[in-house]
Amino acid sequence: MRLKTLATLTSVLATCEFAFAATVPLPQPRPKLAPAAAANSESTEPSLCRQRLTADLAIAPSLPAVGGAGECAVEDVVRLEAVVLADKSRVALTPPATMRCSFAEAIVYWVREDVVPAVRSLDAVLGSIENYVSYECRGRNGVAGAKLSEHGKANALDVASVKLGNGTVLGLTDLHVARNFREGLRQATCARFTTVLGPGSDGQHENHIHVDMIERRNGYRICQWDVRDASADAAEVVRVPFPRPRPADIRDASRRKSSSRQEQK
């Protein structure tokens, strides 16, 4: 009797165990959760760049992807409103610039490590970076049908000037701005960005500096920014409107322009 009961109990337990094992397959919850988690990480997990670009470095809220499905489609985009310096003060981007996160990061370090020290050498404080264009879906130099500009990839910025804390505006291409300041900034800027175009590049960048982070084979870089000398050019600048209107120069300039369109922005 006792043995029979034990046998029955064992049988029941075994059945229960079997039933438990049969009704609750162990791997089941995982497949259900795993794809959801993966999808979740794709859609909401911040990029590594986004994780690096913290509030200690920049005021740069994330934007939805721009450009739709066209050739100017860019993901991981931010609106760079200000660069935050080590002392927590802010250098505004005026106007705020739409750019891919990785390019915003380059601009942040350019401001912190290159522009701020350059301005400090003038015994001044940097207030803002005044720019013309950041993201814009267009061909290079605004030419329809030309190769897509880095502006169309949210990977470029046209910088006009820097504004000091006291309101003084220093144009980066202004001959009246201290030459040492412009030359120092040119060297630092060309060391940081893979393309730098300014006066003397192609006639399209006489009043601003274009910087971008295009990737080229073999690490090839373009640094074309003539830092002109105010004292040497002063008499000529007063006499001759810029650019110089001689027909020969105009022909040269247009030839340069058309050839440079193949190579540059």
Residues engaged in binding Zn ion (CB under 5 A)? 158, 210
- Specify the residue, 164 or 223, whose C-beta has the smaller distance to Zn ion: 223
Beta bridge partner(s), residue 92: 82, 128
88 Rama sector, left if φ>0, alpha if ψ -120 to 50, beta otherwise: left
- Specify the residue, 57 or 190, whose C-beta has the smaller distance to Zn ion: 190
Q: To the nearest whole angstrom, how small is the minimum distance from the Cβ of residue 250 to Zn ion?
A: 23
Determine the Cα–Cα distance for residues 226 and 260; give it in Å rounded to an integer.
16
Residue 179, number of CB atoms within 10 A of its CB:
15
Q: To the nearest whole angstrom, how small is the minimum distance from the Cβ of residue 212 to Zn ion?
A: 7
- Specify the residue, 79 or 210, whose C-beta has the smaller distance to Zn ion: 210
Determine the Cα–Cα distance for residues 102 and 154; give it in Å rounded to an integer.
10
Q: Closest residue (Cβ) to Zn ion?
A: 210
Q: To the nearest whole angstrom, how small is the minimum distance from the Cβ of residue 89 to Zn ion?
A: 28
The owner of tokens 């909401």 is: 44
Determine the Cα–Cα distance for residues 240 and 206; give it in Å rounded to an integer.
15
- Specify the residue, 158 or 202, whose C-beta has the smaller distance to Zn ion: 158
Q: To the nearest whole angstrom, how small is the minimum distance from the Cβ of residue 210 to Zn ion?
A: 3
Spatial contact of 84 and 109, defined as CB atoms under 8 Å apart: no
- Specify the residue, 112 or 210, whose C-beta has the smaller distance to Zn ion: 210
Q: To the nearest whole angstrom, how small is the minimum distance from the Cβ of residue 126 to Zn ion?
A: 21
Q: To the nearest whole angstrom, how small is the minimum distance from the Cβ of residue 80 to Zn ion?
A: 16
Nearest 10 degrees: Cα torsion 75, 78, 79, 85 = -160
Residue 182, number of CB atoms within 10 A of its CB:
25
- Specify the residue, 84 or 209, whose C-beta has the smaller distance to Zn ion: 209
SS3 166: coil
